[in-house]
Amino acid sequence: MSDQIEKVRNRMARKENLCMWGHLYLSKTGQTAGGWLIDSWSEHGAPYWEPKMHWLEKKENKLYRAYLNMNYGGGSIQLHGEDTDIDPGRGKFIRETIQQWETEWLQEEAKKF
Radius of gyration for the alpha carbons in the chain, expressed in angstroms and rounded: 15
Average confidence (pLDDT) over 57-67: 90
What percentage of residues in the chain have a pLDDT greater than 70?
94
Rounded distance between C-alpha atoms, residue 113 and residue 109, angstroms: 8
Q: Residue 83's closest CA among 62, 57, 60?
A: 62
Domain count across the chain: 1
Instruction: Kindly give the pairing relationship between strand 74-82 and strand 18-27.
Output: unpaired
Predicted confidence (pLDDT) per residue in 72-84, tens digit: 777 778 888 999 9
Contact 77, 68 (CB under 8 A): yes
**pTM of the entire structure?**
0.86
Confidence of residue 1 (pLDDT cuts 50, 70, 90): very low
> Range of 12's domain?
5-111
